[in-house]
Amino acid sequence: MTTDVMPTAAAPSRVGFNQAFTDAMTITWRNIRAGWRVPDNQIYMFIQPIMFVLLFAYVFGGAINVPGVDYVDFLMAGIFVQTMAFACAPASVGLADDMQKGLIDRFRSLPMARSAVIAGRVIADLVNQFIVLVIMIVCGFIVGWTFHNGFGQFLAAVGLLMLFAFAMLWVGAFIGLSVGSPQVAASAGLIWLFPVVFMSNVFVDPSTMPAVVQAIAEWNPVSAIASGARELFGNQSLVQSDAWPMQHSVVAALLWCLLIVAVFAPLAVRKYKKAASK
Amino acid sequence: MNAITAEGLVKTFGSGEKAVKAVGGVDLVVPEGTVVGLLGPNGAGKTTTVRMLTTLLAPDAGRAVVAGHDVVREPQAVRSKIGLSGQYAAVDENLTGRENLWLFGRLYQLSSKEASKRAAELLEQFNLADAADRTLKTYSGGMRRRLDLAGSLIVHPQVLFLDEPTTGLDPSSRLDLWDVIRERVAEGSTILLTTQYLEEADALADNIVVIDHGVIIAQGTADQLKAQIGGERIEVIVHEPEALGKAEQVLNVGSGGQCVRDDHTRKLTVPTHTGSKGLMQVIRDLDEAGVGIDDIALRRPTLDDVFVKLTGRHAEDDDTQAETAQGSAS
């Protein structure tokens, strides 16, 4: 018996860009096609956004009073941001599910680009998130919201929201690949999102919060994205805050998104490689 | 030409005191066109070995060449020549049978058209054509396994890995799947099959490799292994303890003195090479001698028998023993 000691890391198997792209598109197709057949996802994509817009516009809208501001005009960008933040959910649950069911292993035994599993997940969820955003914007128009800074800035705001969704997808991918079961991904993996979203200027004015919470809210990336989107849409914003991210919200929003991607994309890829070699 | 050659494969999980050597130096040779059954209890290292051979896991030591390519240096070349069907039926339950196979075809780098054509062929071949356009949610366990197996045959793989293909299936689905696997064998496929069931390895494999605690403890053809562990045997439980001596005498005469006696359970065990014929002979002999019988049966050797014979302990005792040993050591 000869026992050669081999390097522990597998030699990288290069596949061309064309193949990586085709494989990513194939996995994207699979995620969209299969995802749309799951009732949970249909509710998440088509019912929930409409429900949120209507609930906040017509139920809470009258009760929540942000001084000097027309609530629907103020609110809508906040709901968009909240929904984009929850882009974490499908990414984390989807990847955890694939991992648990052995699909990731199966894919890895095929002569395909390894990057396609994560790339296909992220692209599919971006497509889905974009559809959700379009539905919400249309709902917004219906309840009387609109943009005031012209179509160019409107598109820039949509771009910013999609960039935020893209960033949050990587957070979701990291969680999904870390927790190991879709049930955990759907519960413990998402619970932190509620305080993160609510301790912000998404729904209310942070100046009504206790000082510490207010400081958190002003530096919360979610607040920066919401303020940035409001500025680009030309919607009413809150001007009371002197915090830097609130004064330079579009720049702050972009920086936050890039920072989240820079941290979580490598983490998720590392988790994927590690989880896959167990 | 060998389809699989593995030398000294080692894989350890964890580190320090918690380190578990899942595979501790496995050598394996599978000649082209043969079926090798890797037989062992849960946790013996079967799946870990398959994962190393299918490029999913890099070995800590040793080397393996599958379909002419080194699994560590040329994983992509290996992947394009193998099919893997695991124990979990790794298919997407929200896609239809046809969509699943198309997906696998695309990922095997077939064109969309080729993938569709191949999917249709395989659905027909695996008797899934009627269910082709239903989502897998509506499939039975046996149908999912068949589809999973079909997915591993997209590119006519040179080497097919089947990791516990029938674990958890009902007996009739198991027989169905055996037929499907036998067809592959008849076509000359090279197959490495893992299983916990001796009868499955017996039914499908040319050669059987018995693995325990990550180490190969026996190998040979099914007949060689059975000869080694004694083949079929007859078990008799006599009615009265006093009759044990007389019955033992009768059985020793018939078997040339190979009868094993257990006073505690009033059980006598004797090997036989003539199956049910031998069983009838024993019944006649005991009847003539006036020995009353509570129970008599022809028993085929099981994995457990292999273990008792090869290691002197039961396959199931094993885990608890190992755990106790670990517990007292820490």
Tally of domains within chain A: 1
Chain A contact present for B278, CB below 8 A = no
Rounded CA-CA distance A198/A217 in Å is: 9
Gap from A11 CA to chain B (nearest CA, Å):
6
Query: Which of A121-130, B107-116, B277-286 has the least mean pLDDT?
Result: B277-286
Chain B contact present for A110, CB below 8 A = yes
CB-based contact A112 B107, cutoff 8 Å: yes
Q: What is the pLDDT, as a whole number, of residue A277? A: 63
Task: Report B:66-85 residues touching A (Cβ under 8 A).
Answer: 72-76, 79-80, 82, 84
CB pairs under 8 A between A and B: 112
Residues of chain A with C-beta less than 8 angstroms from the C-beta of B109: 19, 111-112
The boundaries of the domain holding residue A109 are: 18-276
Residue A26 has its nearest CB partner, among B61, B88, B107, at B107
pLDDT in tens, A56-75: 888 877 777 767 778 888 88
Q: What is the mean pLDDT of residues B18-25?
A: 87
A131: confidence class by pLDDT, cuts 50, 70, 90:
very high
What is the percentage of chain B residues whose pLDDT exceeds 90? 36
Question: Tokens 């009371």 identify what position?
Answer: A240
Chain B contact present for A18, CB below 8 A = no
The 3-state DSSP class for residue B287 equals helix
B89: confidence class by pLDDT, cuts 50, 70, 90:
low
Domain-embedded: residue A5: no
The residues spanned by each domain of chain B are: 2-227, 232-299
Residues of chain B with C-beta less than 8 angstroms from the C-beta of A102: 86, 88, 90
Domain-embedded: residue A8: no
Domain-embedded: residue A207: yes
Does pTM top 0.90 for this prediction? no
Q: What is the mean pLDDT of residues A170-187?
A: 90
Residues of chain B with C-beta less than 8 angstroms from the C-beta of A28: none
What is the percentage of chain A residues whose pLDDT exceeds 90? 45
Chain B contact present for A38, CB below 8 A = yes
Give φ, ψ of A235 to 5 degrees.
-80, 165
Question: Tokens 């103020």 identify what position?
Answer: A74
DSSP string, chain A: ---PPPPSSPPP----HHHHHHHHHHHHHHHHHHHTTSHHHHIIIIIHHHHHHHIIIIIITTT---TTS-HHHHHHHHHHHHHHHTTHHHHHHHHHHHHHTTHHHHHHTSSS-TTHHHHHHHHHHHHHHHHHHHHHHHHHHHTT----SHHHHHHHHHHHHHHHHHHHHHHHHHHHHHH-SHHHHHTHHHHTHHHHHHSSTTTS-GGGS-HHHHHHHHH-HHHHHHHHHHHHHT---------HHHHTHHHHHHHHHHHHHHHHHHHHHHHHHHHHT-
The 3-state DSSP class for residue B253 equals helix
Gap from B286 CA to chain A (nearest CA, Å):
52
Q: For the domain covering B2-227, report its CATH number.
A: 3.40.50.300
Gap from A134 CA to chain B (nearest CA, Å):
25
Task: Report B:144-183 residues touching A (Cβ under 8 A).
Answer: 151
Residues of chain A with C-beta less than 8 angstroms from the C-beta of B133: none
Chain A contact present for B25, CB below 8 A = yes
Task: Report B:128-147 residues touching A (Cβ under 8 A).
Answer: 135
A261: confidence class by pLDDT, cuts 50, 70, 90:
very high
Rounded CA-CA distance A70/A53 in Å is: 15
CB-based contact A11 B88, cutoff 8 Å: no
Average pLDDT score, chain B? 85
Gap from B95 CA to chain A (nearest CA, Å):
5
Chain A contact present for B43, CB below 8 A = no
Domain-embedded: residue A232: yes
Q: For the domain covering B232-299, report its CATH number.
A: 3.30.70.100
Domain-embedded: residue A261: yes
Domain-embedded: residue A3: no
CB-based contact A37 B80, cutoff 8 Å: no
Chain A contact present for B325, CB below 8 A = no
Chain A contact present for B285, CB below 8 A = no
CATH topology match: B2-227 vs B232-299? no
Average pLDDT score, chain A? 86
B4: confidence class by pLDDT, cuts 50, 70, 90:
very high
CB-based contact B72 A15, cutoff 8 Å: no
Domain-embedded: residue A4: no
Report whether pLDDT(B10) > 90: yes
Rounded CA-CA distance B85/B88 in Å is: 8
Report whether pLDDT(B314) > 70: no
Report whether pLDDT(A119) > 60: yes
Domain-embedded: residue A239: yes
